[in-house]
Structure 1
Amino acid sequence: MDEVTQIFGENVFNETVMKSRLPKETFKQLMKTIEGGEKLNPEVAVVVANAMKDWAVEKGATHFTHWFQPLTGITAEKHDSFIQPIEGGKVIMEFSGKELVQGEPDASSFPSGGIRATFEARGYTAWDPTSYAFIKDGTLCIPTAFCSYTGEALDKKTPLLRSMQAISKQAVRVLHLFDGNEDVTSVKTTVGPEQEYFLIDKSVYDKREDLIYTGRTLFGAKAPKGQELEDHYFGMIKPRVQAFMKDLNRELWKLGILAKTEHNEVAPAQHELAPIFSTTNLACDHNQLTMELMKKTAAKHGMVCLLHEKPFAGVNGSGKHNNWSISTDTGKNLLDPGATPESNAQFLLFLCAVIKAVDEYQDLLRISVASAGNDHRLGANEAPPAIISIFLGDELSSILDSIEKGIPYGKHEKEKMKIGVTVLPEFNKDTTDRNRTSPFAFTGNKFEFRMLGSNESIACANVFLNTAVAEELSQFADVLEKAEDFNGVLHDLILKTIKEHKRIIFNGNGYDDSWVKEAEKRGLLNLRSTPEALPHILDEKNIKLFEKFGVYSKVELTSRFEIHNENYSKIINIEAETMLEMAKKDILPAASKYANKLAETIGLKKSVCSECDASYESEMLKKVSALTSVIYSKTENLESQVVEARKTADSSDSSKTAFFYREHVFAAMNELRTAADELETITPKELWPFPSYGDLLFSVK
């Protein structure tokens, strides 16, 4: 057996380990909870806890932690040792069922959007048995949900699990109306999130205050060479990067993470890792671990992993493509077209549910990817525009068009496309070209939601997508369950859905300016920035959607609205403060020093030789002086805008504050950067206070 198969999952308390260490009946009861959603028996928890502790201690673990995902967007953990005192000043290693099932972290110290006040600190973590426990850095990590003392979800996992339950229930309702699905008891969404990232040398990172504080460069003139030659994409991986990838894969495989594909991305110093699909909540956990391990592994190799969506201007930013599909517990992918009238019709119904969901809840999908970092990326040449649309490809679009118009589908059977009567053409997974400009593209047997930012958790996007599709499946089931003529009602339902929601289907170039105008004509939303998008989360239709399925309460939605607004404002404020410090303490003094050197050179030339030509120095001195004046003025303006922004932050309207940061502070930052970047292009390298873009992007040899 080779090394990879030996180490894969070695640090995971997975099904194989549980089967070997748990009594047969205990294992059977636990699997009913994991696979069937049955309530966990406390006695089972006691046995599992003891077996889990023994396994972890054998592997060198001394502590355990409830590992959860608060609304910070990263993970959290509080470590407790297994030790319990006994007589004689000795200790034993113990871990109770109660410690496994429930923890009690401070709920007031995490973002809550007003749900928890400082004096209301109690919160709970609850074991998620559907996500395997694992060992990380000598600590047993137990994946958990996190909620407040009053029951509201304070994390990203709880709503995700709720949304998975919602779509499963509604999908099963629909499936049981079709022959051949009698054995289906549950449906699971699966995700394969592709992760993009940058690697730069730590020596240059340490000299960039903006990268240290914000994760992106706030200043930086374009390097002579960027991605113009398209020579980095899929190019030879540099030995140092290959060594990093080798170590990263090894650590991921130990944790049972299905790291599959690695390659250079488009921008210099940019790379990508893609895993094999897994159940959505596992994929979410694994992606959080992947990002953490990327940073740790890079540090071991003297590099820094940048996960910001746009760390460098002028080259591609980093996204996270969320490959989403839906499958039954009997192994059928519901987005995979079939070869019989029944399976074709079933596929079309689920396809129409997704189309309808994306159209009716465009705003939610846009909100799910909204962040200060992603605002830099969306609409640029490597990312989809802020307008939500679906790419289906020519063949599938033609099939829907034939159904809508009641005309023959020309490439196959010359009969009208009537569901349940005609066999739809069986087509392969890749019958059409890919569309990199589409935010939501059908790619054969899955949808690729391409708008997610590289630094964000995938939880929110999948919560919104699962819930929206669950709603459409619920509506379809309500209609079809009452149908006397099932095939006729099914045909009419699909036809109606296509006619009413075809506006969301767009197979063209999403980067073209004409698409913005066309989208406006179609009535599609164009929410260009985070502050524009966020208020829609509290639209009445969205509150009703989430409350219907118990995914979010209105209180939980309101809390997230507040948190995201505050987070956006805080990020822009940190960036502005960092720019001010860099401008005042580094850029302006450097400009003054260069101007002084030029003036000294002019004076020295004239003193030695009155006829000597000092036109170069004189012209440069004029340019430097002019730019210095502009930079000083723009610095003063930015500082005043930050002061005004703080005043708006004192109000109770977090949305107003976010808009002010977007419209005024962010605009002032761009003006300051423009002038400073121009100055960098004419300042000698030894006088410029920071490593250049060339130094950063080509630092890893």
Structure 2
Amino acid sequence: MATLRFQALQSASGRKPVIVEELDRKSKIFGSNVFNDKAMRLFLTGEAYKAVQSAVQHGTKIDRKIAEHIAMGMKEWALSKNVTHYTHWFQPLTGTTAEKHDAFFETSMDGSDPVEKFGGTQLVQQEPDASSFPNGGIRNTFEARGYTAWDPTSPAFIFGTTLCIPTVFVSYTGEALDNKTPLLRALTAIDAAATDVAKYFDKNVKKITPTLGWEQEYFLVDAALASSRPDLMATGRTLLGHTSAKGQQLDDHYFGSIPTRVLQYMRDLENQCMLLGIPVKTRHNEVAPNQFELAPIFEETNLAVDHNSLLMDVMQKVAERHDFKVLFHEKPFKGVNGSGKHNNWSLATDTGINLLSPGKTPMSNLQFLTFFINTIKAVHDNEELVRASIASASNDHRLGANEAPPAIISVFIGQQLTKVLEELEGVSKGKLSPEEKTDLKLNVVGKIPDLLLDNTDRNRTSPFAFTGNKFEFRAVGSTANCAVSMTTLNTIVAKQLKDFKAEVDALIEKKDMKKDDAIFNVLREYIKGTKAILFEGDGYSEAWEKEAKKRGLSNHKTTPEALKAKVSKKAIALFEEMGVMNHIEVESRYEIELEEYTKKIQIEGRVLGDIARNHVVPTAIKYQNTLIDNVRGLKEIFGKDFEVIAKEQIKMIKDISGHIEGINSKIDAMIEARKKANLLTDAEKQAAAYCNEVKPFFEEIRYHSDKLELLVDDEMWTLTKYRELLFTK
């Protein structure tokens, strides 16, 4: 057949793996294209090197004169690797990355004396034309100025022939126009708050670093097959398509042998990651057919976020060499697992201690319990804001289905830690006797070293689970920029730790309590007050929905509903108190996310209408005409008896007509609903209209289309089918 579908299948079936050779041992090439500590020692003066290290470790500002020396060294390093351009690499509120390349090359006024030039000014700050980026009303179009400013805590790197300098992106008036700036502020807030609390247990602690280990799930589809599906290309997901007879029900793909083409892609990707200093470690088949995962070693959160954003760019570029299309959408295929980006979060001290890892002594375990319980309380008190931090049009399809956690935020800690908290809850109020304190430390706190990582289990229905020495925020979507959820999590924990210290200090000062007594008293009250958020069972069950409602937990199933928590008085006060975002920055993000939701549903509606009317309906009519010709022939041959003989064909003709009518009537109704929604000028009302009035037609149109896919001759069907998208290797 000459249809695009069969041309694509022919191309895909003839693919040969692109053989990839290992560049060298990973340990040798790791960070080769990164202006890391090794490169800085070689290309910077001693003074310049110390200035960068001080900025990274202590947040000190870099003098402009020193910046000139740093820029000179960075340029020489880049030129030694045949780099021709540089760019300020930033993360605007589109959720992706942005860059504008400038050549090192410059000439004098008369065009003579060409030279490679790059100075401190170009390193530290640039002024891109920022008017087209989302700003949520922070600026008018004619107020286009936006500044990118160097972030020395995330090292510059070379991608292709371009030196990429990670930067923040702010408006002329100082408001953050990116995802990195609030994240950096949140990391500063939690460093200060956590360090103050950690000093209860170790006076030598001077800095706390939040760590992040993300797990990136994704689908790989042959590029030709993806190109044959207008919905995949325009929206990242299939808006139509009947589920394949074989999906993931046999569990034969999960952790199975990696297909040869995919393995070569992964090897190529890992080579590039090593050069860029992205410490990817794990690769495997995921649950759904053609679904995979990779995960890195834990890193400092800001760097981990940058690395994940960079990785998503690299994955697409490497995929082109292997004739693949990477699908990051949370739910590209109906009926099989969606994709997430589990964010594994913890806190590390500059003395080498993981604060969420049980220790070997009662005192170190009291420290563990302090940070463990405070994190639970932070999530309990801000569960709606936590839910809002992972809300998006694409993640709405995933939450609550096929191993994805539900929209209800809860915390899973496992049976053994639950028992520990129950025992701690029984601590008597007030001052403890020496015997009580010893008994408590030995019998409760002293038990924790016996906890193995396995003993916490892995409840895959939990949005926020403790997994041995970290919390795993499982609800984050695969397309998300980790900065959004990490900004929220680090902010709420910072606020909670700040409040905790104030309560403990008050008990010490006002009631003359010993430090341990005060800590135990406050933690006991926290345990009593946060039971509602703890849940060990099946998060998918209807019983949990009812139970969660009794407990007072929210269940915001759609993005417009969930996002409201971001602009509550409580949320705005929280972000302002912790110095993470002012009310303008918070409100602008709310506007941007509502607008993004609306536009995505609008685009999907237009694409769906186009495919259904221009692909599905014409194909169905063609096949219907074939059936009609068949019935006419039977009538000519059998005369009056043709109705009995052609009974099934006549039924099929009627069924096809019914589904065609269903598609056309629902598309007309969807268009009318869209028109009404477009008249609304309030972003909140418009998003709600698209969610509640426009989006419901998607499933109805899909129903009729998918029924036609089962009726129409396979050779006539123009859209590449699920069995081909999911099982072509």
**Could you say which TM-score interval applies, normalised by the shorter chain?**
over 0.9
Distance 1:420 1:102, change over 3 A: farther
Give the drift of 1:128: 0.3
Q: Distance between the aligned counterparts of 1:582 and 1:510, measured in 2?
A: 36
- The answer to whether the Cα contact below 8 Å between 1:402 and 1:417 also exists between their aligned partners in 2 is no
Give the drift of 1:263: 0.4
Give the drift of 1:107: 2.5
Q: Distance between the aligned counterparts of 2:246 and 2:619, measured in 1?
A: 25
Q: Distance between the aligned counterparts of 1:499 and 1:417, measured in 2?
A: 21
**2:537 is the alignment partner of 1:514:** no
Q: Counterparts in 2 of 1:538-577, with a 5 A limit?
A: 538-577=567-606
The aligned counterpart of 2:461 is: 437
The aligned counterpart of 1:119 is: 142
Residue by residue over 1:234-268, the C-alpha shift from the partner in whole angstroms, topping out at 9 and shown as x without a partner, is 01111000010000000011100011000000000
**Match of 2:326, as an amino acid?**
C
Q: Which runs of 5+ in 2 are unaligned?
A: 1-22, 429-434
Select which of 18, 31, 36 maps to 2:58.
Answer: 36
- Report which stretch shifted further, 81-90 or 289-298: 81-90
Q: Distance between the aligned counterparts of 1:236 and 1:292, measured in 2?
A: 26
**2:41 is the alignment partner of 1:22:** no
Q: Distance between the aligned counterparts of 1:545 and 1:415, measured in 2?
A: 35
**2:700 is the alignment partner of 1:671:** yes
Select which of 278, 282, 294 maps to 1:261.
Answer: 282
Select which of 529, 550, 563 maps to 1:500.
Answer: 529
The aligned counterpart of 2:421 is: 400
- The answer to whether the Cα contact below 8 Å between 1:403 and 1:416 also exists between their aligned partners in 2 is no
Distance 1:550 1:319, change over 3 A: same
Residue by residue over 1:593-624, the C-alpha shift from the partner in whole angstroms, topping out at 9 and shown as x without a partner, is 11111101111222234356222311211111
The aligned counterpart of 1:89 is: 112
The aligned counterpart of 2:244 is: 223
3-state SS of the aligned residue for 2:74?
helix
**2:653 is the alignment partner of 1:621:** yes
Distance 1:167 1:626, change over 3 A: same
**Match of 2:499, as an amino acid?**
Q
Give the drift of 1:414: 11
**Match of 1:217, as an amino acid?**
T
Q: Distance between the aligned counterparts of 2:453 and 2:329, measured in 1?
A: 33
TM-score by length of 2: 0.93
**Match of 1:306, as an amino acid?**
L
Q: Distance between the aligned counterparts of 2:673 and 2:265, measured in 1?
A: 42
Q: Distance between the aligned counterparts of 2:578 and 2:707, measured in 1?
A: 54
3-state SS of the aligned residue for 1:372?
coil
Q: Counterparts in 2 of 1:438-517, with a 5 A limit?
A: 438-482=462-506, 483=508, 484-485=512-513, 486-517=515-546
Q: Distance between the aligned counterparts of 2:655 and 2:692, measured in 1?
A: 29
The aligned counterpart of 1:685 is: 714
The aligned counterpart of 1:349 is: 370
Q: Distance between the aligned counterparts of 2:595 and 2:24, measured in 1?
A: 50
Q: Counterparts in 2 of 1:143-292, with a 5 A limit?
A: 143-178=166-201, 181-292=202-313
- The answer to whether the Cα contact below 8 Å between 2:43 and 2:76 also exists between their aligned partners in 1 is no
The aligned counterpart of 2:154 is: 131
Q: Distance between the aligned counterparts of 1:471 and 1:165, measured in 2?
A: 12
Give the drift of 1:415: 9.1
User: Aligned residues, how many?
Assistant: 690
Q: Distance between the aligned counterparts of 2:445 and 2:504, measured in 1?
A: 21
Q: Distance between the aligned counterparts of 2:609 and 2:705, measured in 1?
A: 12
- Report which stretch shifted further, 560-569 or 470-479: 470-479
3-state SS of the aligned residue for 2:158?
strand
Q: Distance between the aligned counterparts of 2:574 and 2:465, measured in 1?
A: 24
Give the drift of 1:423: 4.5
**2:544 is the alignment partner of 1:533:** no
3-state SS of the aligned residue for 2:611?
helix
Q: Distance between the aligned counterparts of 1:614 and 1:419, measured in 2?
A: 83
Q: Distance between the aligned counterparts of 1:308 and 1:362, measured in 2?
A: 24
**Match of 1:108, as an amino acid?**
S
The aligned counterpart of 2:668 is: 636
The aligned counterpart of 2:411 is: 390
- The answer to whether the Cα contact below 8 Å between 1:65 and 1:142 also exists between their aligned partners in 2 is yes
- The answer to whether the Cα contact below 8 Å between 1:186 and 1:329 also exists between their aligned partners in 2 is yes
Q: Distance between the aligned counterparts of 2:137 and 2:654, measured in 1?
A: 54
- The answer to whether the Cα contact below 8 Å between 1:406 and 1:417 also exists between their aligned partners in 2 is no
**2:622 is the alignment partner of 1:598:** no
Give the drift of 1:654: 0.7
- Report which stretch shifted further, 202-211 or 398-407: 398-407
User: Kindly, what percent of the aligned residue pairs are identical?
Assistant: 49
Q: Distance between the aligned counterparts of 1:421 and 1:679, measured in 2?
A: 66
Residue by residue over 1:299-356, the C-alpha shift from the partner in whole angstroms, topping out at 9 and shown as x without a partner, is 1111100000000000111000000000111111000112222211111111111011
- Report which stretch shifted further, 443-452 or 420-429: 420-429
The aligned counterpart of 1:69 is: 91
TM superposition outliers: structure 1 runs of 4+ over 4 Å: 413-417, 419-423
**2:342 is the alignment partner of 1:318:** no
The aligned counterpart of 1:655 is: 684
Q: Distance between the aligned counterparts of 1:405 and 1:507, measured in 2?
A: 21
Q: Distance between the aligned counterparts of 2:483 and 2:439, measured in 1?
A: 38
- The answer to whether the Cα contact below 8 Å between 2:356 and 2:371 also exists between their aligned partners in 1 is yes
**2:316 is the alignment partner of 1:295:** yes
**Over the residues paired in the alignment, what is the CA RMSD in angstroms?**
1.6
Q: Distance between the aligned counterparts of 1:493 and 1:461, measured in 2?
A: 27
3-state SS of the aligned residue for 2:711?
coil
- The answer to whether the Cα contact below 8 Å between 1:223 and 1:693 also exists between their aligned partners in 2 is yes
3-state SS of the aligned residue for 2:245?
coil
- The answer to whether the Cα contact below 8 Å between 1:219 and 1:677 also exists between their aligned partners in 2 is yes
Distance 1:417 1:699, change over 3 A: farther
**Match of 1:85, as an amino acid?**
T
TM-score by length of 1: 0.96
- The answer to whether the Cα contact below 8 Å between 1:406 and 1:416 also exists between their aligned partners in 2 is no
3-state SS of the aligned residue for 1:418?
helix
Q: Distance between the aligned counterparts of 1:592 and 1:2, measured in 2?
A: 58
Q: Which runs of 5+ in 1 are unaligned?
A: 408-412
Q: Distance between the aligned counterparts of 1:330 and 1:661, measured in 2?
A: 51
The aligned counterpart of 1:410 is: none
Q: Distance between the aligned counterparts of 2:44 and 2:131, measured in 1?
A: 37
**Match of 1:623, as an amino acid?**
D
Give the drift of 1:26: 2.0
- The answer to whether the Cα contact below 8 Å between 1:167 and 1:466 also exists between their aligned partners in 2 is yes
Give the drift of 1:502: 1.6
Select which of 93, 101, 112 maps to 2:124.
Answer: 101
- The answer to whether the Cα contact below 8 Å between 2:340 and 2:476 also exists between their aligned partners in 1 is yes
- Report which stretch shifted further, 545-554 or 34-43: 34-43
- The answer to whether the Cα contact below 8 Å between 2:186 and 2:491 also exists between their aligned partners in 1 is yes
3-state SS of the aligned residue for 2:114?
strand
Q: Distance between the aligned counterparts of 1:379 and 1:97, measured in 2?
A: 50
3-state SS of the aligned residue for 1:364?
helix
3-state SS of the aligned residue for 1:456?
coil
Q: Distance between the aligned counterparts of 1:597 and 1:608, measured in 2?
A: 17
The aligned counterpart of 1:428 is: 452
- Report which stretch shifted further, 488-497 or 38-47: 38-47
Select which of 48, 55, 71 maps to 1:49.
Answer: 71
Residue by residue over 1:99-146, the C-alpha shift from the partner in whole angstroms, topping out at 9 and shown as x without a partner, is 100011122210000001110001100100000000012100000000
**Match of 1:210, as an amino acid?**
D
- The answer to whether the Cα contact below 8 Å between 2:399 and 2:406 also exists between their aligned partners in 1 is yes
3-state SS of the aligned residue for 2:576?
helix
Distance 1:490 1:152, change over 3 A: same
3-state SS of the aligned residue for 2:203?
coil
3-state SS of the aligned residue for 2:255?
coil
